[in-house]
Structure 1
Amino acid sequence: MNAIEFLTSLIRSGKLYGLGIGSTLDDVNQSIRCDFIDDVSKSGLSMRRDYGFFEFSFKSGPEWVISAVSIQLHRLASNFEMAEEWQRGMGTYFPQYTAWRELQGALSRVQEYPSLTVKDQGDFIEYRADSTNVSIIVNNDHEERDCSVGQGDLWSVSLWSATRSE
């Protein structure tokens, strides 16, 4: 699978590799086959699992459950090796840069994708799919691709909890 197919599926469903908000740490351990670092907060109430350019946030309870996922695509511009490891472990290919217009074009060709609201945030533009709790951040500042993403490239794509009490 390539990044555009993967991201289109995530935006439409609010799920990645069968995981979504509320999935357990055990579910993640069974689904994601890449190296990671865990960082538990000092309070013990939250944990971040860093896979390089994929980051999962968990909240505690009877067991750890996903509260957010962020795909930090901008990190691939300067460290493409993370994408190569992800492809080996997960079978999904991410390029060094991903243009918003490519993803937007793919979304326009699928049936029943969620409507997107747009927020101008200065150096970034945010596209939100409220029905699936997905946020797409597009670089609106830096013009040329180099060790950073260029103007119009995806900065990140995030899945977030509909409840804001976390």
Structure 2
Amino acid sequence: MMAARALAETVISGSFMGVRPGVKLAEVQQLLPFKYVEEIHGRRRGSRAMRLDYGLLEVTFGNEPDWTCRSLQVEVHRLAGSPAICEEARALAGLEFAPYTPWSDVKGQLDVLGYDHTINASTSPGYQVFGLTESGVSLRVVNDVSCPRGEYPGHGDIWSLEIVRYPI
């Protein structure tokens, strides 16, 4: 599946590769049988957070010891500097990512899929943020005309998607 289509489906569903806030660690490990780096944050058992970093995707858990997904981030910006992540996404998940994914391509796919909900836009330094309350998705798009494509995405390209739903 092409990147723009996969990200548009993520915007609509609030999940990426089957992972969404609220799922348990064991289910995530079944859905994503790939290598990852694990980090535990905090010292007190029961109030710690765990993050699994798969390269393209980061999944954060809470509610120890059950470890429930609190949020996930699709780190699209990492593709520009690491062709290996693009190749891994293709080989392991059948996702065809290029180093850059323009917001206009994803918006076009949302139109094709008939997405007609309101997309709330705001700005932060260097980014335009699109929030979709129905799915809990926020997209960060590079919004600095002085940022060319290179080691990182350039103006108009997606930096990342974050999925958070409350309550969890």
Fold match, TM over 0.5? Answer: yes
**Aligned counterpart, 2:160:** 156
Q: Which runs of 5+ in 2 are unaligned?
A: none
**Aligned counterpart, 2:135:** 132
Stretch moving more, 35-44 or 108-117: 108-117
- Identity across matched positions, percent: 26
Cα deviation for residue 54 of structure 1 reads: 0.9
Instruction: Determine whether 1:36 maps to 2:72.
Output: no
Residue identity matched to 1:139: V
Q: Does the C-alpha gap of structure 1 residues 133 and 145 become closer, same or farther in structure 2, counting only changes over 3 Å?
A: same
Please give the secondary structure, in 2, of the residue aligned with 1:143: coil
Stretch moving more, 123-132 or 26-35: 26-35
Cα deviation for residue 62 of structure 1 reads: 4.5
Q: Which runs of 5+ in 1 are unaligned?
A: none
Instruction: Determine whether 1:56 maps to 2:72.
Output: no
Aligned partners of 2:26 and 2:116: how far apart in 1? 29
Please give the secondary structure, in 2, of the residue aligned with 1:29: helix
Stretch moving more, 87-96 or 106-115: 106-115
Q: Is the 8 A contact 2:49 2:64 kept in 1?
A: no
1:143 pairs with one of 144, 147, 150: 147
**Aligned counterpart, 2:98:** 95
Aligned residues, how many?
Answer: 164
Aligned partners of 1:28 and 1:79: how far apart in 2? 24
Please give the secondary structure, in 1, of the residue aligned with 2:121: strand
**Aligned counterpart, 1:12:** 12
Q: Does the C-alpha gap of structure 1 residues 112 and 73 become closer, same or farther in structure 2, counting only changes over 3 Å?
A: closer
Q: TM-score, normalised on structure 1?
A: 0.92
Residue identity matched to 1:145: R
